[in-house]
Chains A and B, each alone.
Chain A
Amino acid sequence: MTDRASVIEAEAGAEGTGAEGAGPGEYGASAIVIFSGLQAVRRNPSMYIGSTTADGLHHLVFELLDNAVDEYEAGHCRSIRVTLGTDGSCQVCDDGRGIPVDPHPDSGRPAAEVVLTTLHSGGKFTGSTYTNSAGLHGVGLSCVNALAAWLRAEIWRDGEHHQQEFERGEARGPLARLGPAQGRGTAITFIPDPEIFDTCDFSARVLTGRLQEIAFLHPGLTVEFADERTGESAEYRFTGGVVGFLKQLNTGAATIHGEPVAVEAGGDRAAFELALQWTEGYTEELRSFVNGVRTDQGGAHVDGIRTALAGAINRFATAHKMLDARTGERITTVDILEGLTAVVSLRMANPKFDGQTKKRLQNPEIAAFVHEAVDREFSRQIDKDEDLGRRIVARALDATRSRLAARLASRTARFRRREIDVDYKVYQRQFGIRSRNWHESCTWLADDGLLAAHAELCDVAPDARMLDVCCGSGVVGNAFKDKVGESIGLDITPEMVALASTRLDHVDQGTVYDMPYPDASFDLVVNREVLHLLPQPERPLAEIFRVLRPGGQFVVGQIVPFAEEDAFWMYRVFKKKQPLLYQMFREQEFRSLLLGAGFTDVVMKEYLLWESIDTWIDTHETTPAHRREIQRLFYEAPPEVRAVHPFEVLEDGSIRDQWRWCVYSLRKPR
C-alpha cells in the first residue's frame, strides 16, 4: 500500500510540476527515489511487461529505448544505437548523460546499481529531471535486469568509464571503474532469460519498426540499428515530421496523388500534425501517436480524422455529381480507409486511454477538435485543387463499389436441384485481377516446401500427360514438370492463362465444370486450394475423374481446419477474406468428397505453413471492414480455437497464422 501510494504521489508530482518544480533539475544520485525489491518481477513478469511471449521480449528493448528517448527529450542525447549480437544479446546505447554513479544518499550504493536492482527507482519520480516521460516511470531498467540471464551496464560519465555486470538481477560484483574515458553515455547489453521467455529470438523487423517511429517522433535524433546475426544495418533520422514519415511508409507504393495532404492545427489544450495519402494498395496504414506514444488501437483522434474525411469526400463527390444518385450511393468511413496511409501525431494534456495495454485514446473532445480542423483544411485543399479531389473520390468510390460487389459475389453462384448456374464472369473478375503481384499475396502460393509436398506424391510414367486444373499462375504444374512428359493447364481467366503459359507447355481457357477435353485424356491431374471456392464441388470432381485415364493419379492439396473446434471460426475468417467461399472442408469431409467421386488408394500428407494474415487480406477481394473483422476474429479468438489452432499476434497487431495443408494422392480405378 505504502509503495503504491508513494508511486501515485510521485507521478502526480512529475506531471504537475515539471522541471521547474523541485530544484534546478540536477540529474544526480539524490534525484533517484527508492521504492522496493525486484524478485516480484521474476515471479510475475507479465504484470510488468505484458507477457512472456515475443511481445514481452521486445518490450524489454522498448523500455531501454524509452530511457534513452527520455534523455533526448531532456536535451542531453543525440543518438541511440541498438545492436543485436550473435550471442543472442541486445545492446541499447545512447550518448546521454550516463546514469549517475555517485553513492545514493539512502543506501550508500552507487546510484546506477540502485536503478538497476531496485523496482520503482528512477529519475522520473521526483519530477525534477524529466518533464514528459514515455517509459514505465523507472520500472524499466530494473525490470530488464530482473528478466535478463545476464546484463552489463556501461556508463561513461565525468571522464570515466564504469561497468557492472548482473545475473538475473543480482550484481556479480561492485560497479568497477575501468579508467579514464572521453564522451558520455550509457550502454546496456543483456541476454534475455530463457527461463522466463517463450522465445529469446529478437525480431529485426519489430525493432526497426519501433526505431523508425522513434526517429520520426524525435526530429534530429539519429537512431542506428545493427543486426550482427545477419549483417543488416540501418540508420534513421528524420527532419520532415509527419510528411517525411509518411513518405517513408509509402516508399515504393503506387500513390493516387503525388504529394501527401498535410493538416496542422493547434489549440489551448491540444495540437496535432497529420499527413495522409491514398495508394493503389488495399490495406490501410494508420500510424497514430499521442504525446509520442503509439496508439495502436487509434481512438478519438483517428475517429475524428475518418469522419471528417468521409464527410468532406461525400460533399465533394455530391457537388461534382460523382455519386450514383439513383442508388443513393454513399462513401462510408470504412470505404475511405482502403489504401489510406496516414500519420498523425497529437500532443495534449491529460490523455485518457482505455484498458492497460490497449492503446486507444478516449477523450471525446479530441474527436470533435480533430474532426473540425481536418474537415476545414481537407475541404479547402480539395476545393482548391479539383483534380486532387476527383482522384481521391474515385479511389474511395472504387472501395464503395467493390464492397457492394463483394456482397453480391457470394450470392451470384447458385445451383438448384441438379442444375448449376454459375456466373463465370464473377470468377473471372475475382481471380483475374489477382494476377497483379499474385505471388506476393501469400506465402503458400510459391512456397517451395508446399509445392514439393505435392510433387513428392507424384507416381506416374515419365512420359505422362499432366493437367493442372484451375492452374492460376501454373506454379503447381511447374513443380511436377520434371516428372511428366507434357504439362497442360486450364484456367477461367485470360490473365491467368497468359501467366501460366510461361510455366506450362500449353494452357487452355475454360471452366472446370465442363472441361474442354475428351474422356481419359490425362495420366495425372493436379489441383490446389480450389474446390472450396466452387459450389457443388462434386461436379468438377466428376469432370476430373472423367478426363483421367483408368489408373491415372489425382494429386490435390487443400487447407483444412485442425479440429472440429476451429472449423466454424476458419469459415468466418475465410468467408470474410473471399466472398466466393462455398465450403470450409474439414479433413474427413474433404476425404469423403474425394472418395465419393470414385477415387481410391488415398494417401494423405500434412504440411504446416505459417502465413502472414495481413498480407493475405491485402487484396481487392477483401473489403476494409472485412479486414478489420478478420483481425478481430484473431484478436478475440475463443479459447477453444486457440487450443487447437496455432497463430500469433505480434506487438504491432500483425498476425501470423498456421495453416494445415492436407495433400492427397488418389487413383482412378483401372
Chain B
Amino acid sequence: MPYLSQELAADLRAALAAEAVAAQRYSYFAQIAEIEGVNEAAQLFADLAASVACAAHGHLDVLRDATVPDAESDIGETALNLASSIVDALRDADETYPDLLAAAHDEGQADVASWLTTLAALKKAHVGKLNQVLEALPGPAEPASAPRPGLGGSHD
C-alpha cells in the first residue's frame, strides 16, 4: 500500500491534534457537569470523550502504518517512541514553556507564568525519565536505529 502524501499526513496530524484536544475538553466538561449535578450532560461528555480518544488512537494507527518510516514517522516501536517523546518533551521544556512564560511575565501575569514554570520543570523531569528507560533498553543490533534526543525523532 502506498504511503500517504506529505500533505495528507500533515492534515491527519492536524486532525489528530484536534481530536486529542476534543477528548480533553469533553472530559473536562464532564467534570464540570458532574460538579454542577447535570448528570445527563456529564454522562454524554464522558461518553464522547471516550469515543474521541479512541478516534485519536485511530489516527495514530494510520500515521504509524501509512507514513514513510524513515523520513517522517515518529511512531513505531518502543525505542523510537521513547526517542520521539524525548524530543517532544525537550522542546516543551526548553522552548515552548520558557517562551510562553516569558510572554506571561511580559504581560504581568505572574500566576500564569508560575503555572508555566511548573510545567517546564515537569517536562524536564519527563525527559530524564524517558532517557533512563531508553538507555536501559536492550541495545538494538545497529545502534543507529535508536535516534538520540535532539535529532528530531528521525535519522539517516
Q: Which of B32, B38, B110, B115 contacts A568 (CB 8 A)?
A: B115
Asked if B114 CB lies within 8 Å of chain A CBs, one says yes
Residues of chain B from 93 to 132 with CB closer than 8 A to chain A in the complex:
108, 110-111, 114-115, 117-119, 121-122, 124-125
Instruction: Tell me the minimal C-beta distance from B147 to chain A in angstroms.
Output: 25
B38 CB contacts on chain A under 8 angstroms: 303, 307, 333
Asked if B81 CB lies within 8 Å of chain A CBs, one says no
Asked if A55 CB lies within 8 Å of chain B CBs, one says no
Chain B 25-41 interface 0/1 with A at a Cβ cutoff of 8 Å (1 = within): 00000011001111110
B39 touches A571 (CB 8 A): no
A495 CB contacts on chain B under 8 angstroms: none
**With A565-B125, A575-B111 in contact, is A629–B35 under 8 Å at CB?**
yes
Asked if A367 CB lies within 8 Å of chain B CBs, one says yes
Instruction: Tell me the minimal C-beta distance from B153 to chain A in angstroms.
Output: 23
A435 CB contacts on chain B under 8 angstroms: none
B39 touches A300 (CB 8 A): yes
A535 CB contacts on chain B under 8 angstroms: 108, 110-111
Chain B 13-51 interface 0/1 with A at a Cβ cutoff of 8 Å (1 = within): 000000000000000000110011111100000000000
* Cα of A416 to Cα of B31 in the assembled complex, Å: 35
B117 touches A564 (CB 8 A): no
Asked if A302 CB lies within 8 Å of chain B CBs, one says yes
* Cα of A563 to Cα of B40 in the assembled complex, Å: 39
Instruction: Tell me the minimal C-beta distance from A570 to chain B in angstroms.
Output: 8
* Cα of A561 to Cα of B114 in the assembled complex, Å: 13
A571 touches B114 (CB 8 A): yes
Q: Which of B31, B37, B108, B122 contacts A414 (CB 8 A)?
A: B108
Asked if A163 CB lies within 8 Å of chain B CBs, one says no
A306 CB contacts on chain B under 8 angstroms: 37
B37 touches A586 (CB 8 A): no
How many A-B pairs with Cβ below 8 Å? 74
Residues of chain A from 506 to 522 with CB closer than 8 A to chain B in the complex:
none
B35 touches A334 (CB 8 A): yes
B37 touches A307 (CB 8 A): yes
B122 CB contacts on chain A under 8 angstroms: 564-565, 567-568
A334 touches B111 (CB 8 A): no
A536 CB contacts on chain B under 8 angstroms: 110
Interface residues on B, range: 20 to 34
Residues of chain A from 550 to 602 with CB closer than 8 A to chain B in the complex:
561, 563-565, 567-568, 570-571, 575, 581-584, 586, 589
Main secondary structure of the interface of B (DSSP, over half): helix
Closest residue of chain A to B123, judged by CB?
Answer: A564
Closest residue of chain A to B117, judged by CB?
Answer: A589
* Cα of A584 to Cα of B39 in the assembled complex, Å: 34
Asked if A35 CB lies within 8 Å of chain B CBs, one says no
Asked if A424 CB lies within 8 Å of chain B CBs, one says no
A582 touches B110 (CB 8 A): yes
* Cα of A535 to Cα of B112 in the assembled complex, Å: 11
**With A564-B124, A568-B122 in contact, is A333–B108 under 8 Å at CB?**
no
Instruction: Tell me the minimal C-beta distance from B118 to chain A in angstroms.
Output: 4
A407 CB contacts on chain B under 8 angstroms: none
**With A303-B37, A306-B37, A565-B125 in contact, is A586–B118 under 8 Å at CB?**
yes
* Cα of A518 to Cα of B35 in the assembled complex, Å: 51
Q: Which of B35, B39, B110, B114 contacts A364 (CB 8 A)?
A: B39
B108 CB contacts on chain A under 8 angstroms: 414-416, 535
B124 CB contacts on chain A under 8 angstroms: 564
**With A415-B110, A565-B125, A571-B115 in contact, is A629–B39 under 8 Å at CB?**
no
Asked if A625 CB lies within 8 Å of chain B CBs, one says yes
Asked if A632 CB lies within 8 Å of chain B CBs, one says yes
Instruction: Tell me the minimal C-beta distance from B141 to chain A in angstroms.
Output: 33
Asked if A83 CB lies within 8 Å of chain B CBs, one says no
A334 CB contacts on chain B under 8 angstroms: 35-37
Instruction: Tell me the minimal C-beta distance from B125 to chain A in angstroms.
Output: 4
A583 touches B111 (CB 8 A): yes
Asked if A218 CB lies within 8 Å of chain B CBs, one says no
B125 touches A333 (CB 8 A): no
A628 touches B35 (CB 8 A): yes
Instruction: Tell me the minimal C-beta distance from A632 to chain B in angstroms.
Output: 6
A302 CB contacts on chain B under 8 angstroms: 37
A589 CB contacts on chain B under 8 angstroms: 117
Asked if A127 CB lies within 8 Å of chain B CBs, one says no
Asked if A410 CB lies within 8 Å of chain B CBs, one says yes
A629 touches B118 (CB 8 A): no
B39 CB contacts on chain A under 8 angstroms: 299-300, 303, 364, 367
Instruction: Tell me the minimal C-beta distance from A426 to chain B in angstroms.
Output: 13
Closest residue of chain A to B107, judged by CB?
Answer: A416
A307 CB contacts on chain B under 8 angstroms: 37-38
Chain A 600-627 interface 0/1 with B at a Cβ cutoff of 8 Å (1 = within): 0000000000000000000000000100
A584 touches B37 (CB 8 A): no
* Cα of A628 to Cα of B32 in the assembled complex, Å: 10
* Cα of A518 to Cα of B119 in the assembled complex, Å: 40
A567 CB contacts on chain B under 8 angstroms: 118, 121-122
Asked if A332 CB lies within 8 Å of chain B CBs, one says yes
Q: Which of B31, B114, B121 contacts A564 (CB 8 A)?
A: B121
Closest residue of chain B to A581, judged by CB?
Answer: B111
A332 CB contacts on chain B under 8 angstroms: 36
* Cα of A571 to Cα of B112 in the assembled complex, Å: 10
Instruction: Tell me the minimal C-beta distance from B111 to chain A in angstroms.
Output: 5
Instruction: Tell me the minimal C-beta distance from A581 to chain B in angstroms.
Output: 6
A632 touches B111 (CB 8 A): no
A367 CB contacts on chain B under 8 angstroms: 39
* Cα of A367 to Cα of B43 in the assembled complex, Å: 14
* Cα of A629 to Cα of B28 in the assembled complex, Å: 11
A364 CB contacts on chain B under 8 angstroms: 39-40
A414 CB contacts on chain B under 8 angstroms: 108
* Cα of A575 to Cα of B113 in the assembled complex, Å: 13
Most A CB atoms within 10 A — which of B108, B111, B115? B111
Q: Which of A415, A565, A582, A628 contacts B114 (CB 8 A)?
A: A582
B40 touches A632 (CB 8 A): no
B37 touches A568 (CB 8 A): no
* Cα of A414 to Cα of B121 in the assembled complex, Å: 24
* Cα of A88 to Cα of B123 in the assembled complex, Å: 46
B40 CB contacts on chain A under 8 angstroms: 364
Chain A 41-81 interface 0/1 with B at a Cβ cutoff of 8 Å (1 = within): 00000000000000000000000000000000000000000
Instruction: Tell me the minimal C-beta distance from A83 to chain B in angstroms.
Output: 40
Instruction: Tell me the minimal C-beta distance from B62 to chain A in angstroms.
Output: 28
B121 touches A586 (CB 8 A): yes
Contacts A571-B114, A584-B115, A629-B35 known; 13 new A-B pairs at CB < 8 A: A332-B36, A333-B36, A333-B38, A364-B40, A410-B111, A416-B108, A564-B122, A564-B124, A565-B125, A568-B115, A575-B111, A575-B115, A586-B121
The 7 closest A-B pairs by CB, nearest first: A564-B125, A567-B118, A568-B118, A535-B110, A303-B37, A564-B121, A583-B114
Interface positions of A (Cβ within 8 A of B): 298-300, 302-303, 306-307, 332-334, 364, 367, 410, 413-416, 535-536, 561, 563-565, 567-568, 570-571, 575, 581-584, 586, 589, 625, 628-629, 632
Interface positions of B (Cβ within 8 A of A): 31-32, 35-40, 108, 110-111, 114-115, 117-119, 121-122, 124-125
21 contacts between A and B (CB under 8 A): A300-B39, A306-B37, A307-B38, A333-B38, A410-B111, A415-B110, A416-B108, A536-B110, A564-B121, A564-B124, A564-B125, A565-B125, A568-B115, A568-B118, A568-B121, A568-B122, A571-B115, A575-B111, A581-B111, A584-B114, A586-B121
